Structure 1
Amino acid sequence: MTDDFSGLGLSPKVTDAVAAAGYTKPTDIQAQAIPHVLQKQDIIGIAQTGTGKTASFVLPMLTLLESGRARARMPRTLILEPTRELAAQVHENFEKYGKNHRLSVALLIGGVSFEEQNKKLDRGADVLIATPGRMLDQFERGRILLNGVDLLVIDEADRMLDMGFVPDIERICSLLPARRQTLFFSATMPPEIEKLTRKFLRDPVRIQVARQNSTAENIDQKLVRVGSKPDQKREALRQQIRAADGLTNAIVFCNRKRDVAMVAKSLARHGFDAGELHGDMDQKRRTETLDAFRSDRLSILVASDVAARGLDIPAVSHVYNFDVPVHAEDYVHRIGRTGRAGRSGVATTLVTGADSKHLDAIVKLIQQDIPFADNDTGAPADQPENAATAEEAKPAKRRRGATRERGQVKARPATSTEPQSETVQQTQPEPQVPADAVEETRTAKTRTPARSKAPKRPQKESNDNTNPFGNDGPIPAFLLRTSAWSN
């Protein structure tokens, strides 16, 4: 294995740009993949994020593109990425390493106007970097001709599978010339991905630089037991962040997009510089949030798994799993956001009693135990998030709806569109029936008086009056007047 880039067969223009960027020694994936790419062989590269995988195809591609020129609407090479962020970062790599070249690079991602993208396509693109959906959209509009593509890169293939892009990938491959070079990169190789490689690659060279279940040794991993209620988990998260040693910035991962927004707003309400990143945000907001986090204007980024791979932020000191990931492989990729480039990092996972199945799968995958930390900084499992909500948390132990105690009917707080129910005292054998239950009482003649003390409520609890931030505090009056918080 060569100790520098000059021995890999790259052109002088590329090696000069690499040296100017401050890199002197190739990573394992770069040293093994680059020579094969330059020989125009198909490749299956299995490597975790943070191993320099992107440069392993960008650098040789720049060398190969030095001969020939682009034609209108006919890109010479195509790189497919599962997310906008990954596509944008590959584009940044071409700008950094291709500064000595006069190549045209087009970026096709959602959230960006078609007009600007069309201008680049009409001028001719040497390199087309795209997400599958937007690329097919442009192809169907007649803006792209794919019969000139001689090199295809499918990056983060297992993430493509998770996001449901495999049918799109199959269709795109069928539109490309049969005689082409294909580079296939993935962190894991599930059976569906193996099938895809057998279908579209010709005699590929298989390169694997790390086991798919490996986690960096310089990451301090720990588990923290917490209560299962969202307010308890948010309290535990805040206390873990406050008690962290050497925290400069952190990424907090949630399984669901709605929890990303809730956790980010809760942290902001408690004085943390927190922002959110998930798939429902438009491209402008996502870009602004990432830029703010990279430039230290945000110290905490709350994200869904759309950000679990490919974020090029080398100095993340801490990672917090607000939820235990459903897929064990996602745990490896999440905590891989810290401990990069030889730095140390800390990965903390909040664990409830319902997480044992997913936790066992993670331990089995990484083949090592993750210790439980002392729970001094975690929220007690039977305590609410703060004292102000203690009384509000008690009824949660009962069946949701009206509760009955010794002749009283204590109604659940009404929604913003209903008047507040009053507590009805039983002063005679026949209980007083709330007005909204009179008709129900008349029709249910066989109902006993004890069962008519409370109006019939649907068993499914309404969220109309639920604070979207959990039990962090009372809902401001202006929020009760809008339906935006009803979900």
Structure 2
Amino acid sequence: MVSFADLGLSQKVLQAVEDAGYTQPTPIQEGAIPHAIQGKDVCGIAQTGTGKTASFVLPMITRLERGRARARMPRTLILEPTRELAAQVDENFQKYGKYHKLNVALLIGGVSFGDQEKKLERGADVLIATPGRLLDHSERGKLLLTGVEVLVIDEADRMLDMGFIPDIERIVSLIPFTRQTLFFSATMPPEIQRLADKFLQGPVRVETAKPSTTAITVEQRLIRTGGKDYEKRATLRDALKSQDNIKNAIVFCNRKRDVATVWKSLEKHGFSVGALHGDMDQRSRTQMLQGFKDNEIQILVASDVAARGLDIPDVSHVYNYDVPIHAEDYVHRIGRTGRAGREGQAFSLVEKSATKYLDAIEKLIEKKIEWIDLADGVADAIDASEAEEPKRAKRGNSRKRGAKTEEKVEQPISEAKPSEEKEERKTKIKENNAQQKTGKDDDKNNDRRRNNKKNKVDNDNNQSTGFGAEDAIPAFMFNGR
């Protein structure tokens, strides 16, 4: 049986790994670390939750034991698609590099440029960045990538989904050709394969699971629901209440606006819940995520910003409030549970319009997912306050021409108005309308008089200014007649 000591890691790194409580490497770590230490390009493919981050962090620390970084010239570069993933990698370097004096700089949005520039000036052994913020520093002249020895492109398929590929290509063009490149992804669609072929030189391919497969430790189930928003929220509450072994859970929504709606609904019904989506500022996102990790929040409602690579090791349940539009996202979402050999459960709420997305998911994972019926009916759980508000009636009379109606419109007060009062009100309305009409006619007459005065001949200057209703015809028009 292979141990970390067999992978070629330094003694300091091995001691840090032992302090963290790990004894045996995962398959992706066992396959990637030895080649990474030797300086070879690696293309690693493994489902989420299998330890890909340590597959490049551990060999990088070992290689960085020799040498020092210069100002504004990092020695290694790690590209991540989101701030949360970048911060997570930073935590890994703090944990496994505890016996090393490495300068680690984190370049992400939501943090002032000034603080980040100070770290770059001190010299960074490791630079962890999101593509946009990295290019911002580079264009300001505060960062040089000509000294990068190792480039890591993490969560490559997520980079593709978020439209970062043009930025990645620009960044790679600034890095020496002699670099070592470590390329990791949970899935390997054709677009990502072409990207790997472009960036890697004779790579060692390490594949520990069939692309787009789900962990066998995750129990997957489907739940039917109505298409109305209030029906889905009621079904979600039923699904949460039906599980008595929930330690914590992540509820995924396709849209950021639904994250806020579902969060408010669950909070209203007494659940311990928080929210996480891309429009939140960095401080709020960090606090919310930390609260979930520390079990201060039991349920986290999130968009797909939380689906990729976040290391929350002991999530017991995942709920898809919406069936993901892209089948690959399903793999990443349910990969938040059942990590590191633990058991997990994943439930997906499926309305009729989402069956085409479900078909694509089952085709991708090559597995039929079982349907279940909730013990309590959804109709019983629907709160009147959760129902959608009735649509506002159109203005005007909706009755067709010639049709008669016998229905009486209920008065908003307890007793109907007397008929005399109605007639009096109608009379006043007619009078007001007549006054308004008279006023408009007076206004028109006044305008006409003003125009006539304006158009009269100015006798002082003996010049014609127009032909008003009261003007005489000028004499010059009769000349020659």
Provide the rounded CA distance (Å) in 1 between the counterparts of 2:73 and 2:312: 33
1:80 aligns with 2:82: no
Q: Report what 1:206 is aligned to.
A: 205
Q: Per the alignment, do residues 45 and 409 of structure 1 end up closer, same or farther by CA in structure 2, a change over 3 Å counting?
A: farther
Q: Report what 2:258 is aligned to.
A: 259
1:325 aligns with 2:358: no
Provide the rounded CA distance (Å) in 2 between the counterparts of 1:161 and 1:193: 7
Q: Report Cα offsets for 1:302-339 as digits up to 9, x if no partner.
A: 00001001121111111100000001111111111111
Residue 158 (structure 1) shift:
0.3
Provide the rounded CA distance (Å) in 1 between the counterparts of 2:267 and 2:318: 18
TM-score (norm 1): 0.80
Q: Report what 1:181 is aligned to.
A: 180
Q: Give the secondary structure class of the aligned counterpart of 1:267.
A: helix
Matches within 5 A, 1:112-123: 112-123=111-122
Matches within 5 A, 1:282-293: 282-293=281-292
Q: Report what 2:104 is aligned to.
A: 105
Q: Report Cα offsets for 1:170-190 as digits up to 9, x if no partner.
A: 000011111111011111112
1:385 aligns with 2:391: no
Provide the rounded CA distance (Å) in 1 between the counterparts of 2:230 and 2:396: 22
Residue 341 (structure 1) shift:
2.1
Q: Which runs of 5+ in 2 are unaligned?
A: 400-404, 420-425, 434-481
Q: Report what 1:467 is aligned to.
A: none
Q: Contact 2:242–2:375 at 8 Å: present in 1 too?
A: no
Q: Report what 2:442 is aligned to.
A: none
Provide the rounded CA distance (Å) in 1 between the counterparts of 2:61 and 2:154: 17
Q: Report what 1:67 is aligned to.
A: 66
The alignment of Structure 1 onto Structure 2 pairs a total of residues equal to: 415
Q: Give the secondary structure class of the aligned counterpart of 1:227.
A: coil
Matches within 5 A, 1:125-274: 125-274=124-273
Residue 376 (structure 1) shift:
3.3
Q: Per the alignment, do residues 50 and 146 of structure 1 end up closer, same or farther by CA in structure 2, a change over 3 Å counting?
A: same
Q: Give the secondary structure class of the aligned counterpart of 2:251.
A: strand
Matches within 5 A, 1:37-48: 37-48=36-47
Query: Which amino acid letter does the alignment assign opposite residue 185 of structure 1?
Result: F
Query: RMSD in angstroms over aligned alpha carbons?
Result: 2.6
Matches within 5 A, 1:365-380: 365-377=364-376, 379-380=378-379
Q: Give the secondary structure class of the aligned counterpart of 1:261.
A: helix
Higher alpha-carbon deviation: 185-194 or 91-100: 185-194
Q: Per the alignment, do residues 8 and 384 of structure 1 end up closer, same or farther by CA in structure 2, a change over 3 Å counting?
A: closer
Residue 245 (structure 1) shift:
2.3
Provide the rounded CA distance (Å) in 2 between the counterparts of 1:336 and 1:191: 22
Provide the rounded CA distance (Å) in 1 between the counterparts of 2:319 and 2:177: 45
Q: Report what 1:472 is aligned to.
A: none
Provide the rounded CA distance (Å) in 2 between the counterparts of 1:275 and 1:236: 19
Q: Report Cα offsets for 1:265-296 as digits up to 9, x if no partner.
A: 11111111111101001100000001100111
Q: Report what 2:8 is aligned to.
A: 9
Provide the rounded CA distance (Å) in 2 between the counterparts of 1:44 and 1:24: 24
Residue 399 (structure 1) shift:
9.1
Q: Contact 1:308–1:337 at 8 Å: present in 2 too?
A: yes
The structure with more radius of gyration: 2
Provide the rounded CA distance (Å) in 1 between the counterparts of 2:396 and 2:131: 51
Residue 45 (structure 1) shift:
0.6
Provide the rounded CA distance (Å) in 1 between the counterparts of 2:306 and 2:150: 27
Q: Contact 2:247–2:316 at 8 Å: present in 1 too?
A: yes
Q: Which runs of 5+ in 1 are unaligned?
A: 412-419, 440-487
Q: Contact 2:49–2:335 at 8 Å: present in 1 too?
A: yes
Q: Contact 1:236–1:377 at 8 Å: present in 2 too?
A: no
Provide the rounded CA distance (Å) in 1 between the counterparts of 2:119 and 2:409: 66
Q: Contact 2:47–2:212 at 8 Å: present in 1 too?
A: no
Query: Which amino acid letter does the alignment assign opposite residue 19 of structure 2?
Result: A
Q: Report Cα offsets for 1:137-156 as digits up to 9, x if no partner.
A: 11111111000001100000
Q: Report Cα offsets for 1:370-400 as digits up to 9, x if no partner.
A: 11111434524xx89323566x66x56x998
Q: Per the alignment, do residues 400 and 241 of structure 1 end up closer, same or farther by CA in structure 2, a change over 3 Å counting?
A: farther
Provide the rounded CA distance (Å) in 2 between the counterparts of 1:104 and 1:121: 9
